Structure 1
Amino acid sequence: MFVLSNAWSALMRHKGRSAATAAIVLVVVFGTMTAAAIVQANTEATGSTRAEQTANASIRPTAATWEKVSATDSDSTEQYLTWSDYTTFATAAQEAGLSFDFTVTETVPVRATDGITALSGGSIDGEDDDTTGGALIWRAFYTLDAAHANDMGRYKVIEGKHLNYSTSTTDITGALISQAFADENGLEVGDTFEVATATDADTTYELTVRGIYEYVADADVDNPVTAARNRDNAIYTNYPAFSNAGLDPTSTDDVSGWEIPDLDVLFNPGTADSYDSFVTALQDSGELDGYEVSSPSLEAYDASIAPLNSAASTARVVGIALAVAGGAAVLAVCLVGVCARSRRDEIGMALASGVTRGRLGWQFMLEVFIVTLPALAVGILAGGFLAKPLGSALVSYETSVGSSLIWHSIWIGLGVVLAIAIVTALRTVAFTTPQLFAAEASAATDSPTHDVDADTEAQA
């Protein structure tokens, strides 16, 4: 009790130093826990969570192959993949023992008719429709998954309804148009409009505005034909509407030029691991010459955690720097509390009074414990409760603090506090008697003195 009382009294005499120590510990513990939570979340996001993602697989021409395609050369559509090509890819994957399902997107250029104006923009502005096939884009999605993989950018319907992808649907005219296209042409949900085929301005199809959309993500288009057009000119329908218009030929042998649709079959092999196996099977088959495999869903997931990746890189550096600097700062403050002149005098007087060095060392250890342990506990609690909302605010990702991280922080924190306390105690007991009383001797020498003879003469 004597040692504890002395320790408490010493802390109360030096409240500023005690408060500074507690504040440093609190900031360091909270900061390092938050940094660790971000790093842990990133490890999970790029590891187990990514492996559990549903991964699709898109097989498309390479950049070198796309260079052979031109928005002003209808013959270059021969570079498009066909159903026969995709059947070859599917067969290679099946022979490797893989199972999958698939969905499809098909795209053709179409012309604006009288009363309809295509939005300007893109490299085909000013080109004749006979050369380009038209400034509009008609794209059909087999399923919602195909729509989600839209390389012209994710979109949301802001008026009307989404497309109906049911195989039994009778909706063969419903279409989605962009807000900009609707404004340009004075179209509203429920209105009808006509477009003409790329090869014949006199062959038209009537569509009904089912919904109006706006893009919520940037485009990532490889096909030069599509990229040459303003993406707000895209008209989206389901497959029945596309097929009913006769735009999906049973064989590309029967059509040519702009009649050949850009066919994009999106395979769904399953998890990220299954996707890797799918890619390996196609590469081993030797059928990918001029083509490459990518996963729009994994790319979208990787893009979504990109801020977390960046934050984790920073958090690793900040966490280590904060821990090292904070630990050094706490140790320095504690040692200053030992080496200060007043404390050295106190130690010297205690030793002169018969207090053992062991008891003095224990007293200074208690001073460290009394200040740092409550601050450690508060810092861990604050980190446990606030790291998640703080991480969500910083990186838009859930950075929860699990029990393993909490216990890890507790044991490391206790270890560091114990180490600082031991160093402080050792420094206390390491003082020699001459060192302890040197400050007092110096103070006596530096203090003002009176010249006795001078005083006596002054009195005379």
Structure 2
Amino acid sequence: MFVLGNAWRALTRSKGRTALTAFITLAVTFGTVAGLAIVQENTTAHTTTYDSQKATMAIRPSAAAWKKVSATDSSTTKQYMTWTAYTEYATAIQSATNTLDFTVTETVPARVSGNLKALDGDSLNGASDDKTGGQLLWRAFWTRDAAKANNLGTYTIVDGKGLSFNNQSSNPDTTGALVSSAFAKANNLKVGDTFKVATAADKSKTAELKVRGIYEYTSEADADNPVVTARNRENAIYTNYQTFASADLDPQSSDSSAKGWQVPDLDIVFNLSDAATYKSVVASLKKSKLPAKGYTISSPSLDEYTKSLAPLETLASRAQTGVILLLSVGGVLLLALVLLGVWAPKRDDEIGMALVSGVTRGRLGWQFMLEVFIVTLPFYAIGLVGGAFAAKPIGAALASGHATAVTSDLVWKMVWYGLGTILVLAILAALRLAFYGSDKLFAADGDWGTVSETEVIEAESGAVDGAGDDAAATAAVATTTTTTGKSGNDAEAKA
């Protein structure tokens, strides 16, 4: 208790330095654990999490091939992928993986019919429907996964309900369609209303559709096909495959020799188990001399995931810089404050009088170590717990929802490195005793309520009233010795 009490009194005598040490310990620990959690998540997201992502594979015309496609020239649809071409890829993929899972999206232009009107926009204004096939887009999704991968942008249903993909039903929905909120407003359409659209190839051939739901986009478009991008995406009408086939728009189910605007933009996306399988299949296709010239292989899901990492990468870069600054500046400040606390001139008086009173250097060293432990350990623990809990919401707010939770591995690293650092600071504080020389032992002055030898000699010299004889001098020295011994005894008794 003697050592603990003295350590506590020493800290309370320097409240400013004690508070600053505690604050720096808390701030450095909190910032470090939160920052390292973000850096760790960025590393994990690019390795383990990336490798476990479900990978999709798309085979599409290359950028050079898309340049040959024109929104006003129906003959350029020959650049599209065909069912025959996709069958070759499907065979190769099935051979490489022993499984085959895919989804399909088909898109064709469409014309307005009757009183229906298209929204203006993009690059088709003023062009005749005979050249463009119409200002509308009719897109059919085979599955819900295909709808989620819509390259015109993800969307949400704001009224009504989504498409039905019950392909096994004996009575599938063959009229239901989704229209955009802007398109519905322009044509005064509500859920349950019917409307007609004409096919791109023949304006006299129409199909009647029923508004099943009204949607609004929640992301930007990422389409490549110039026929698609030339149109205002608010004019897109979404249906399931059954509705598309019922209107005789799929060459697979009607005329396989379709030409011009009868040819749909066919987009088949193969579903693979993970990123490693995707890489393996790509390597296998290259050995089979696929893809053919003018076509490329990509993974929309992996590309989308990689794109989503951009905010996390930026945050991790800043967090890494911040952690380095925190540890550097905070470490230097803590070291300075600890050394300042034990090397202050008043500590010489304290050490000297304690040693004279019979306190060992070991006990004093332990006292100095306790001063470091008392002011750092509790705030280190608070900073560690606070940073661990704060890391996750920080990531959710600044890294587009990526989880930046603190792992047990990171916590244990912080615990051991933190305790090691605090122990080093405590040992450095204790080493102060090794540099306290015996020549300072009787130079302690005032901190423990003692009277220095100089003051006593001066006082006794005044008492002999300036007499210079040997007897008076001898009496003064004797008095000095007695007084000093008494002070030492008093100090020891107080201790």
- Which TM-score applies when normalising by structure 2? 0.84
Specify the alignment match of 1:244 in structure 2.
Answer: 246
Tell whether the 8 Å contact from 1:101 to 1:268 is kept in structure 2 after alignment: yes
Cα gap change, 1:258/1:426 in structure 2, threshold over 3 Å: closer, same or farther?
Answer: same
Specify the alignment match of 2:276 in structure 1.
Answer: 273
Specify the alignment match of 1:455 in structure 2.
Answer: none
Q: Does 1:291 align with 2:295?
A: yes
Q: How does 1:419-434 map to 2 (within 5 A)?
A: 419-432=424-437
SS in 2 for 1:279: helix
The two structures, once aligned, show a CA RMSD in angstroms of: 2.3
2:420 to 403, 415, 431: 415
SS in 2 for 1:201: coil
Specify the alignment match of 2:90 in structure 1.
Answer: 90
Shift of 1:294: 1.8
Q: Tell me the distance in 2 between the aligned counterparts of 1:324 and 1:131.
A: 68
Specify the alignment match of 2:267 in structure 1.
Answer: 264
Q: Tell me the distance in 1 between the aligned counterparts of 2:194 and 2:439.
A: 101
* Aligned partner letter, 2:110: V
- Single out whichever of 430-439 and 315-324 deviates more from structure 2: 430-439
Stretches of 4+ aligned residues off by more than 6 angstroms: 434-441
Q: How does 1:138-177 map to 2 (within 5 A)?
A: 138-167=138-167, 168=169, 169-177=171-179
* Aligned partner letter, 1:184: A
Tell whether the 8 Å contact from 2:97 to 2:281 is kept in structure 1 after alignment: no
Shift of 1:432: 3.9
Shift of 1:92: 2.0
- Which TM-score applies when normalising by structure 1? 0.91
Specify the alignment match of 2:126 in structure 1.
Answer: 126
Q: Does 1:306 align with 2:310?
A: yes
CA deviation profile, 1:57-112 (whole Å, cap 9, x unmatched):
11111111111111111111000000011111112223334423111000000111
Specify the alignment match of 1:360 in structure 2.
Answer: 364
CA deviation profile, 1:32-57 (whole Å, cap 9, x unmatched):
11112222223333322222222111
* Aligned partner letter, 2:345: R
Shift of 1:352: 4.7
Cα gap change, 1:238/1:346 in structure 2, threshold over 3 Å: closer, same or farther?
Answer: same
* Aligned partner letter, 1:192: T
- Single out whichever of 248-257 and 106-115 deviates more from structure 2: 248-257
Cα gap change, 1:127/1:426 in structure 2, threshold over 3 Å: closer, same or farther?
Answer: same
Specify the alignment match of 2:408 in structure 1.
Answer: 403
Cα gap change, 1:252/1:296 in structure 2, threshold over 3 Å: closer, same or farther?
Answer: farther
- Single out whichever of 354-363 and 69-78 deviates more from structure 2: 354-363
Q: Tell me the distance in 2 between the aligned counterparts of 1:108 and 1:436.
A: 97
Q: How does 1:51-70 map to 2 (within 5 A)?
A: 51-70=51-70
Shift of 1:299: 2.6
Tell whether the 8 Å contact from 1:74 to 1:132 is kept in structure 2 after alignment: yes
SS in 2 for 1:103: strand
Tell whether the 8 Å contact from 1:176 to 1:211 is kept in structure 2 after alignment: yes
CA deviation profile, 1:121-157 (whole Å, cap 9, x unmatched):
1111111111111110000000001111110000111
SS in 2 for 1:320: helix
Tell whether the 8 Å contact from 1:387 to 1:399 is kept in structure 2 after alignment: yes
Specify the alignment match of 1:346 in structure 2.
Answer: 350
Q: Does 1:215 align with 2:217?
A: yes
Shift of 1:172: 0.9
Tell whether the 8 Å contact from 2:69 to 2:76 is kept in structure 1 after alignment: yes
1:373 to 373, 377, 390: 377
SS in 2 for 1:265: strand
CA deviation profile, 1:403-451 (whole Å, cap 9, x unmatched):
222221111110000111112222442244568999979xx9xxxxxxx
Specify the alignment match of 1:449 in structure 2.
Answer: none
Q: Is there any run of 5+ residues in structure 1 with no aligned partner, and where?
A: 445-460
SS in 1 for 2:378: helix
Q: Tell me the distance in 2 between the aligned counterparts of 1:439 and 1:75.
A: 102
Q: Tell me the distance in 2 between the aligned counterparts of 1:438 and 1:151.
A: 84
Tell whether the 8 Å contact from 1:140 to 1:239 is kept in structure 2 after alignment: yes
Specify the alignment match of 1:179 in structure 2.
Answer: 181
Cα gap change, 1:224/1:358 in structure 2, threshold over 3 Å: closer, same or farther?
Answer: same
CA deviation profile, 1:372-413 (whole Å, cap 9, x unmatched):
111112222222333323332333233222322222111111
* Aligned partner letter, 2:429: T
- Single out whichever of 360-369 and 139-148 deviates more from structure 2: 360-369
Aligned-residue identity in percent: 56
Tell whether the 8 Å contact from 1:177 to 1:212 is kept in structure 2 after alignment: yes
Cα gap change, 1:252/1:28 in structure 2, threshold over 3 Å: closer, same or farther?
Answer: farther
- Single out whichever of 254-263 and 295-304 deviates more from structure 2: 295-304
- Single out whichever of 385-394 and 73-82 deviates more from structure 2: 385-394
* Aligned partner letter, 2:173: D
Shift of 1:329: 1.1
Q: Is there any run of 5+ residues in structure 2 with no aligned partner, and where?
A: 447-451, 453-495
- Single out whichever of 363-372 and 209-218 deviates more from structure 2: 363-372
Specify the alignment match of 2:334 in structure 1.
Answer: 330
Specify the alignment match of 2:466 in structure 1.
Answer: none
Shift of 1:162: 0.7
- Single out whichever of 37-46 and 219-228 deviates more from structure 2: 37-46
Cα gap change, 1:160/1:348 in structure 2, threshold over 3 Å: closer, same or farther?
Answer: same
Q: Tell me the distance in 1 between the aligned counterparts of 2:16 and 2:384.
A: 23
SS in 1 for 2:140: strand
How many residue pairs are counted as aligned between the two chains?
A: 443
Q: Tell me the distance in 1 between the aligned counterparts of 2:258 and 2:394.
A: 58
Shift of 1:253: 5.4
Tell whether the 8 Å contact from 2:163 to 2:240 is kept in structure 1 after alignment: yes
Tell whether the 8 Å contact from 1:100 to 1:270 is kept in structure 2 after alignment: no
Q: Tell me the distance in 1 between the aligned counterparts of 2:151 and 2:441.
A: 77
Cα gap change, 1:239/1:52 in structure 2, threshold over 3 Å: closer, same or farther?
Answer: same
